[in-house]
Amino acid sequence: MDSPSVATANVEAPVQEPRNVKGGAEGEVHLAGVTRSFGAVRALEGIDLDVRAGERVAVVGPSGCGKTTLLELVCGLQQPDAGTVSSSPAVLMPQRDGLLPWLRAIDNAALAARLAGASRDEARARAHPLFAAFGLEGFERARPHELSGGMRQRVAFLRTLLSGKPVLCLDEPFGALDALTRHEMQEWLAQALAREPRTVLFVTHDVEEAARVADRVLVMSPRPGRITAELAVPPSRTPDELLSVRERALEALRSC
């Protein structure tokens, strides 16, 4: 319950949910010396990472090297065995879209608002304008099985965005899509983030995708996952620059 002093402050300005529940400044993510094991399986070792507010960081690495574990640590869904994770509130878009098949697209997108206590109409009203903005107009009432793979991913992304958290952790958001749709979705994501800037941690197996979407690409070693290379993507993103990032990322992956 609000204390009297908070209630008084409320008259001047609405009380905000604490934004930095785990100590990171707004939109920032910091990991220091993070290790995570599952029984005898050491998934992550010695992870140091600082992400600036608004930065887009892609993580590439072989299957099983701890990428999902890393995102779950940032979102507070797991705790490290050693080291510290401090992050502004973060939300996970899981490796599979995770849409609830019995809910309409708009109710899937509005799920976070519903879980936070909004009525169905309020939650829908918040989600509705984004459907048009993100190329889903007319599909608000469709169920997930009536949507294409790319559209499902967009609804899942909207759901992630509508959680209102400043940090988005996207786990292979386009992994299940064909190459053409994937390419369209990469451009769509860049436009979506231009409209709704957020800090993004983005896992992918595709180094080209990493270079196209991110400001910085992290390369991880096979398990136990460590960060073995960090590649800055020049903001100009000329074809030659993207090719160079791709080649260096592949080289780093090969030499792990």
At its nearest, how many Å lie between ligand ATP and the CB of residue 3?
Answer: 39
Distance from the Cα of residue 195 to its chain's centroid: 16
SS3 category, 206: coil
The option from Mg ion, ligand ATP, none interacting with 223 (CB < 5 to 8 A, set by class) reads: ligand ATP
At its nearest, how many Å lie between Mg ion and the CB of residue 177?
Answer: 16
At its nearest, how many Å lie between Mg ion and the CB of residue 180?
Answer: 24
Rounded Cα distance between 178 and 206, Å, is: 13
Closest CB to ligand ATP among residues 95, 244: 95
Segments in 26-110 forming alpha helices (H): 67-74, 105-109
- Cβ atoms 91, 165 nearer than 8 A: yes
At its nearest, how many Å lie between Mg ion and the CB of residue 171?
Answer: 6
How are strands ordered across the β-sheet holding 199-203?
90-93, 167-171, 199-203, 56-60, 216-220, 227-232
Binding site for ligand ATP (CB under 6 A): 38, 41, 43, 61, 63-69, 95, 223
The two three-digit tokens of residue 52, written as one number: 């600036």
Closest CB to ligand ATP among residues 71, 161: 71
The option from Mg ion, ligand ATP, none interacting with 38 (CB < 5 to 8 A, set by class) reads: ligand ATP
Q: Which residue is nearest to Mg ion (CB)?
A: 68
The option from ligand ATP, Mg ion, none interacting with 181 (CB < 5 to 8 A, set by class) reads: none
Binding site for Mg ion (CB under 5 A): 68
Closest CB to Mg ion among residues 214, 242: 214
54 burial level (CB within 10 Å; 0-12, 13-18, 19+): middle
